Amino acid sequence: MSLKVDYLPYTLHFRFEAGTSRGTLTDKTSFFIRLSDTDNPTVVGYGECGPLKGLSYDDRPDFEEQLRQYCEEFNSLDLQLFRWNVPIVLNQIISPKFPSILFGFETAMLDFLSGGCRIIQASDFTAGQRLLPINGLIWMGKPEFMRQQILEKLQAGYTTIKLKIGALDFEQECELLALIREQHTESQITLRVDANGAFQPNDAMTKLERLATYDLHSIEQPIRAGQTDLLAELCQHSPVPIALDEELIGQMEYVHKFRLLKKIQPQFIVLKPTLLGGLRHCDEWIELANRLNIGWWVTSALESNIGLNAIAQYTAQFKHLVPQGLGTGQLYTNNIDSPLSVEEGHLHYNLAHPWNLSPLLKH
């Protein structure tokens, strides 16, 4: 038995211009880890490394070269894999400076150990018997485009809507929130917003007070990461519950995670495995959040269906979930066909829809 790993780069193309406060996205490149055994090459485990430009801790010019070196190092070792030694292998080979590579290798190994069927963690979800509640994401753009997205999400049966804010004029964004609230009460539609750190320190509280008039569930990362004293103060006094997102990036040590949450005391944290170093790091964040009475949910970070599949299966192990951020599988014109589908505001694993990796393998 000899384990071998390589990677396949693949560029995903958005169906529309996806606006955020950090700019507009039209495409995204992911690197797919492919793990197999030379004695049984039909069993292949796949994982996805998808760093985000301008956001990921490992968004750096030498990313692909580092990935190539990690593959070579893995191949030079005479490894035997078991579920219990996956964290050990990750710690030995991959630096915590590359969280998306950690996630890609981790999920490729778990897929391989499960027989290479894209089942990272079997559950009632992967059996097609349970649906995961998700929020409908509204991307930034011209007000008419955002209004159209809102109507489409409401007609599609979503009961939780999340709006990206911070790029348009604030008054225009408030008008969009007012549009929803004029027709749907807080008990009918849950509203979340994500500022991606766009608010300035001198007006953040004023904007939070204004946003509170729309009965929001939460706001993600109102100010840019790294301002922990101010963020702790906002979390203590804000009339809108605050969820940490970018603030968690780069915190790879358990004790540092604990100190951050203990100091800021947010109402929620948002977990993106690609940005945080994979599933085992999410385990640590969840354990700490539960201990400190902080709510949480899991969100994909523009992965293809391969990465989304792993994140969804990880999330499905938990019960009594609030709506998760797992509705990104419909973003791309050339996504990998998978059993994942969205039905009335829920993510479904439809066993009638098989995986089709041929676009990736032909690329």
Burial, 56: exposed, middle or buried (Cβ in 10 Å; 0-12, 13-18, 19+)?
A: buried
| C-alpha torsion sign, points 271, 138, 309, 28 | negative
Question: How many CB atoms are located within 10 Å of the residue 308 CB?
Answer: 24
Backbone angles phi, psi at 359, to 5 degrees: -60, -40
Structure-token match 């809507």, residue found? 161
Burial, 229: exposed, middle or buried (Cβ in 10 Å; 0-12, 13-18, 19+)?
A: exposed
CA 307/CA 302 separation, integer angstroms: 9
Look up residue 293 and give its DSSP letter. Answer: T
Q: By the 8 A CB rule, do 30 and 63 touch?
A: no
CA 86/CA 267 separation, integer angstroms: 32
CA 89/CA 33 separation, integer angstroms: 15
Structure-token match 């969820």, residue found? 243
Nearest to 130 by CA among 343, 363, 305: 343
- Which residue stretches of the chain are H helix? 63-76, 86-93, 99-113, 143-155, 170-183, 204-211, 228-237, 254-264, 273-276, 279-291, 305-315, 358-362
Nearest to 188 by CA among 210, 211, 158: 158
Look up residue 81 and give its DSSP letter. Answer: -
| Positions marked active-site | 164, 272
